[in-house]
Structure 1
Amino acid sequence: MTTTTTTILSIVASILSAGPPVDVPTPPTDDERPHVVFISGDEEYRSEESLPRFAALLGRDHDVRTTVLYSLDDEGRIDPEALSNIPGLEVLADADLVVMFTRFRTLPETQLEPIRRYVASGRPLVGFRTATHAFRYPDEDPRHAEMNEAWPRRVFGQRWITHHGNFGDGKAPLTRVVPDPEATHPILRGVGPFDAYSWLYHVEGGGDELAGDPTRLATGTTLKSYHEERHDRFPTSSPVAWTLENPTGSNLPGRVFFTTLGPPYDFRSADCRRMAVQGMLWAMGRENDIPKAGVEIDATDDWRLTNAGFGGYRKHQRPAVPATREP
C-alpha cells in the first residue's frame, strides 16, 4: 500500500471515529491509485456520516484515493436539505468508481451532466438505498420523465415504489437479511445473515421485477409491514442487494452493485459493512482482492452514526480542506 504521511493517517483515523462528518483527504492528481468518488445527498439516512467512513476505510485498507462530495448550503456547510447543490462533481471525469447515496435531488444541468457522462462511460457504479429515487425534477422540467423514474431503473435496476414502513423510529431491527445460500459471488464472502434496521424497500414481486439481468445476492424479510392487507401486491420479502453487468457501448455502467440497505444503524452490522465494501471492490474488478473469509472490517464502535430521521443531521459542519502529501 502507498505510504502516506502521519498527518494524513491521523486525519483518516479521525474520520473513522465518532467525530463530525468531514471529507477524506484527496492526494494530488499525480497519485496513480484508483480514484473513488462518493456522492452524499439525502435528508434522512445520514449518508453525510456513513460515506466518509467508507471512504476512509477504502483509502486505508484498499489502496485507493477518495473524494467525498456533499450537498452544501450557500455558506459551504453540509446541508442534506440543500437539494440543488452538490459542488465538485467535475471530479467524476477521472473517477474509477462512483458511489451514490442521494435522494430527490434537483441538481442544475452543470452538476447533473458529469453524472450522466460518467454513467454513459461504462465505468462502474455503486448505489445505496435512496439512489432508486436519486433525483426529483418538477413536472414542468424536461428532465422529469427520464431522471425521476426511467434513469434509476435503467442504471440501478429499479425505481422507488414503496417500503413496508418505519416502525420505532429506526431504533430496532425491522428486516432480516439472508444472503443467497446458493450464491458463490465474491461480494458475499464472509457475509452471514444479519438484522437490519432498514424498513424494507419493495423492489420485486406482486407484478414488479428488477430491470436488466440482475444477480440477486441477498433477500430481506420485513418483520412488520404497513401493507398487511396487500401482501399479494407487496410481498414481505424482497431483494436487498444485487449486481448488474452491462456490455461495453451500452451507455451504462459496466458493473453495478446496488443495495437498498443504508440507514445508519444498518452499519452496526459487520456483515452489512463487509457486503458494502466488497460490492465496491467487485465493481472495480478487484474481486481477487476479497479473501475467502471476507475483508477485515472496523469494530462497530467506529460506526456510531446519528440515527435516521428528517432534520436530524449535524448542523454547521463543513467538509475538511483536502490534505496534501508532505515532500
Structure 2
Amino acid sequence: MKHFILPFITLALVASGLRAADHVVYEPAGEAKGKHIVLLAGDEEYRSEEAMPMLGKLLSQRHGFKCTVLFSLGADGTIDPTAGASLSHPEALASADAIVMLLRFRHWDDATSKKFEAAVHRGIPIIGLRTSTHAFNGYPQDSPFAAWNFGNNGGWGRKFLGETWVSHWGKHKVEATKGIIEAANASHPILRGVSDIFANSDVYEAAPPPDALILVRGQILQGMTADTPPASYKKATAAKVEQDVNSPMMSVAWTRVVKNDAGTDNKIFCTTMGAATDLAIEGTRRLVVNGIFWGLGIEVPEKADVTPVGDYQPTMYGFKGNKTGVKPDDHALAK
C-alpha cells in the first residue's frame, strides 16, 4: 500500500499545478480588465529578472491585468540572465495583448523567435525598457532573424523602438539621470500624474526618428543621487558633433507607431531608463505603468497607483552580483 500512495501523491501534486513552473503568472485582482500582459526578462546587467516580477505583481493586483513573466533560464531551471538563447514558456506570447520587455542581446531558437514575431505581427503594443534598444544579437547570418541583430543597421531595436545601442552619454555608474518632461508634450496621457523622474542608471546617447514623440529628456547629474547638480562638459556624439552633454539633452522616453512586416501597427513606448533600481522611484515607475495603459488604449488614470506589492529592494545593476539560485516560482505571489 505504501508503494501505491507515494506515486499517487506525486501525480496529484503535478496535476494540481504545484510543480515548479518555468514562468510566473499573476492573475488579476479586483475588477479584471480582460487584458494579458506578457513581460520578458532577459538581460545580464540591469536586473530585469527582478523588475519584471515587480511590475507583473503591481499591474495585476493594483490594476486588474493578467500578467505572465518569462525568464532566461539555466540548465538547472534557475534564472540565469546570461542565458541569451533562453526564453521560458514562449507559448504565453500567443495570447499577449501587450509586451513589456527588458532584453539585451538575446538569440532565441527559431520556434521561440517565431512566437515573438507572431505576437508583434498581430499589432500589439510594445513597451521597451533600457537595453531593449539592443534586445537581440547573436543570430547566425543565415538565420531568418539575423536582421534583428543590433549590428545589422540597428537591428530590431532601431526598426521598432526607434533607436539601438550607441553609447553611454552620461558616465556609467558615476552620473545619474533626472527626467525633464518635454514642455511641448506635457499634456500627453503617459505623463499624467508623473513627477520627480529619476534613474540611477546613466543617460544613453539616443536620437529617435522624426516620427517619434519625445516625452522626457535626460539631464545628466554630477553624481548618483537626485539632489546633485547637473553636469557640464562637452562630448562628441556618434556623428562627431561636439556639444555640451546637457544642451541639448538626450531623449530618454518617447512614443511612436510602427507598421510591421505583416502590415499592422504597433504602438511603441520606449524609455532608455528602466533598470530595476530606476523602477524603485515612484515617478519613473508611474511613467512605465502609464505607458502600458496608453499602449493598450485604456484611459490612463489621473494618478495611477504604482505602489509595489510586497517589498521591493532591487539589486544594484552590474554584470556581476545578480542573485543566483532563484527559480521563477520564487516570484509567485503566494511566496
TM-score scaled to structure 1, two decimals? 0.80
Cα distance in structure 2, aligned partners of 1:76 and 1:226? 47
Number of the residue aligned with 1:114: 115
Q: CA deviation at 1:165?
A: 4.5
Number of the residue aligned with 1:240: 252
User: Runs of 5+ in structure 1 lacking a partner?
Assistant: 1-21, 205-209
Give the secondary structure class of the aligned counterpart of 1:306.
coil
Give the secondary structure class of the aligned counterpart of 2:37.
strand
User: Runs of 5+ in structure 2 lacking a partner?
Assistant: 1-22, 223-230
Higher Cα Rg, which structure: 2
TM-score scaled to structure 2, two decimals? 0.78
Give the secondary structure class of the aligned counterpart of 1:201.
coil
Q: CA deviation at 1:52?
A: 0.5
- Output aligned runs, 1:171-210, within 5 Å: 174-183=176-185, 184-204=187-207, 210=208
Give the secondary structure class of the aligned counterpart of 2:123.
coil
Number of the residue aligned with 1:16: none
Percent identity reads 32
Q: CA deviation at 1:317?
A: 0.4
Cα distance in structure 1, aligned partners of 2:66 and 2:294? 17
1:158 counterpart (163, 167, 171): 163
Instruction: Tell me the matched-pair count.
Output: 290
- Output aligned runs, 1:24-173, within 5 Å: 24-26=25-27, 33-137=34-138, 140-142=141-143, 143-148=145-150, 149-167=154-172, 169=173
Q: CA deviation at 1:103?
A: 0.2
Number of the residue aligned with 1:217: 215
2:315 counterpart (286, 306, 309): 306
Q: CA deviation at 1:144?
A: 3.1
Structure 1, residues 36-75: CA drift from partner, whole Å, max 9, x if none? 0000000100010011111101001111111000000011
Cα distance in structure 1, aligned partners of 2:242 and 2:263? 33
Cα distance in structure 2, aligned partners of 1:38 and 1:235? 36
Q: CA deviation at 1:26?
A: 4.8
Matched, 1:263 2:272: no
Cα distance in structure 2, aligned partners of 1:323 and 1:155? 31
315 and 234 in structure 1: CA distance in 2 versus 1, 3 angstrom threshold: farther
Give the secondary structure class of the aligned counterpart of 2:304.
coil
Checking the alignment, whether the CA contact within 8 Å between 1:25 and 1:67 is kept in structure 2 is yes
Checking the alignment, whether the CA contact within 8 Å between 2:62 and 2:306 is kept in structure 1 is no
Structure 1, residues 256-300: CA drift from partner, whole Å, max 9, x if none? 1111001222123211000010001110001x2422xx2122169
Number of the residue aligned with 1:296: 305
1:275 counterpart (276, 281, 287): 287
Checking the alignment, whether the CA contact within 8 Å between 1:179 and 1:191 is kept in structure 2 is no
1:151 maps to a residue whose letter is W
Give the secondary structure class of the aligned counterpart of 1:115.
helix
Q: CA deviation at 1:187?
A: 0.5
Q: CA deviation at 1:179?
A: 1.1
Number of the residue aligned with 1:8: none
